[in-house]
Amino acid sequence: MTEWQDKAAAFRALHEDGVLVLPNAWDAGSAVAVAQAGAAAVATSSAGVSWSLGRPDGHGVRGADMVEAVRRIAGAVRVPVTADVEGGYEDVAATVRGVVDAGAVGVNLEDSTSRTELRTSAAQADLIRTARAAGAAELWINARTDVYLLGIGEPESRFDEVVSRGRAYADAGADSFFVPGLLDLEVLAALTAAVPLPVNALAGPGAPTIAELGAVGVRRVSLGSAVSKAVFGLVHRAVREVLAEGTYGALAGGSDYDVVNGLFDRS
């Protein structure tokens, strides 16, 4: 087997038992920090990558820019990497081939086209089929629906819509189902029982614990942009404080220089 196939097999195996926790990185340095902290795999954050390139989230970068960011991230760590490629950018097949060539063994594909609209279930299923045909058979496809995240449709209709999409995406070849914006444990329990795919939840401050999510059948938990938001928030607070007050309180608690420098292998 090739190194890529070994990582793809290892990543697939991580979904077999318990809950796979995926902290999200946005550049090579943050990926190293995530891996060195003990993560079994690294996910990328499309928001974090976009912000690191000085662009907004939501298809604010080109597919080629995201591929190059994934290449740097995958090249910096030994653990499997899965790439958030939003809705596939200009050409989903080219994007998927690009991130696979860059070293990613998984992709996220979302069904939102804006902050207010989703592709139809059938159109998103076609996108998943295109991604499956473009990538190796071992590529893990995490199909994301933004019904709950964006509040699409009437509240009482959202669960049935999400179940319908989950089943359609499974039929199209997805390996797991990502439903950001849904953290109600009772609803998650019903969802994990209703769809034939491992369910991925998006967590962060205020969310149920990993143990609580696992207890209702969630098999994968991502942090999304939460870590990058915390970092960018710290930068903003620290700079505003030093410029306005001339003090440095926001910088307290940072890691020692040698600790950070020691994360990076010179070989």
pLDDT of 184 above 70:
yes
> What's the length of the chain?
267
Q: What is the pLDDT of residue 265?
A: 77
Q: Considering the chain, what percentage of its residues have pLDDT values greater than 70?
A: 99
Q: Give buried/exposed letters for 217-228 (b at 16+ CB in 10 A, else e).
A: bbbbbbbbbbbb
**Cα–Cα dist 97/125, whole Å:** 18
- Chain segment 19-34, per-residue pLDDT in tens: 999 999 999 999 999 9
Task: Check pLDDT > 70 for residue 266.
Answer: no
Please write the tens of the pLDDT for every residue from 136-167.
Answer: 899 999 999 999 999 999 999 999 999 999 99
Confidence grade of residue 1 (pLDDT, cut at 50, 70, 90): low
pLDDT for res 105: 98
Q: What are phi and psi of 149, to 5 degrees?
A: -60, -40
